[in-house]
């Protein structure tokens, strides 16, 4: 069976920078990635590269930022006062927080500290990065009606209700 919309796909993957620096790998968790193809559950460039592939296929693909986590946007970097972080005793660079703006939840990362000023970045940590994927397709199966309706995989390797 070929990968197409509304198929459940199981892959082994390694993601690196173009220079070969490891970003993530399914071998680190010991579990493959299971996702519903066509539901927007993975970056668009990888999903496009997987379309039409079958179990047993292995390939590499380079995904530019606009097909990955997007370009970096300077307007998503802000300086806020330390008192905006209620209940946080110790602030460190790299800490992440959830914030809500205009009814949407965003993750911000602390990227700088200077006195009572905290620099936060709402860009995805991989925004602006070209991602190099090394992929092996393990399994492809039709999604159940419930998986299609819910927009994600159920059961082993997927979501459990």
SS3 string, 40-79, reads CCCCHHHHHHHCCCECCCEEEEEECHHHCCCCCCHHHEEE
Same domain, 64 and 139: yes
- Residue 26 forms part of a structural domain: yes
Cα separation of 7 and 37, whole Å?
A: 5
Domain that holds residue 22: 7-69+126-150
Q: At which residue do the structure tokens 């991602």 appear?
A: 131
- pLDDT on residue 154: 87
Residue pair 91/113 in contact (Cβ under 8 Å)? The answer is: yes
Domain match, 28 and 57 both: yes
> Rounded to two decimals, what is the model's pTM?
0.83
- DSSP bridge partners of 137: 11
Q: Are residues 50 and 96 in the same domain?
A: no
Which H or E run contains 150? helix 145-150
DSSP state, residue 26: H
Same domain flag for 56 and 94 = no
What 3-state class would DSSP assign to 37?
coil
**Domain check: are 16 and 45 in the same one?**
yes
**Who's near 20: CB < 8 A, 6+ residues apart?**
none
pLDDT for position 155: 73
Do residue 21 and residue 52 come from a single domain?
yes
Residue 158 pLDDT grade (very low, low, confident, very high; cuts 50, 70, 90): low
Q: How far is 38 from 51, CA to CA, in rounded Å?
A: 9
Number of independent structural domains in the chain = 2
pLDDT tens for each residue of 66-117: 999 999 999 999 999 999 998 898 999 999 999 887 888 889 999 999 999 9
Give yes or no for a contact between 15 and 25, defined as CB atoms under 8 angstroms apart: yes
Residues 22-52: tens digit of each pLDDT: 999 999 888 999 999 999 999 999 999 999 9
Work out whether strand 117-121 and strand 131-142 pair parallel, antiparallel, or are unpaired: unpaired
């Amino acid at each position: 069976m070929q990968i197409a919309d509304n198929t459940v796909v199981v892959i082994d993957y390694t993601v690196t920078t173009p220079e070969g620096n490891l970003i993530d790998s399914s071998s680190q968790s010991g579990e493959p990635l299971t996702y519903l193809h066509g539901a927007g559950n993975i970056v668009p460039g990888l999903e496009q590269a997987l379309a039409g592939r079958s179990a047993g296929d292995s390939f590499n693909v380079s995904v530019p930022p606009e097909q990955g986590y997007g370009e970096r946007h300077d307007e998503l970097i802000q300086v806020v006062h330390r008192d905006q972080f209620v209940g946080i005793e110790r602030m460190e660079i790299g800490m992440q927080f959830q914030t809500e703006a205009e009814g949407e939840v965003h993750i911000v990362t602390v990227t700088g500290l200077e006195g009572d000023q905290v620099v936060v970045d709402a860009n995805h940590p991989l925004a602006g990065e070209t991602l190099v994927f090394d992929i092996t397709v393990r399994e492809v199966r039709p999604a159940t009606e419930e998986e299609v309706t819910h927009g994600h995989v159920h059961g082993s390797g997927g979501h459990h209700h």
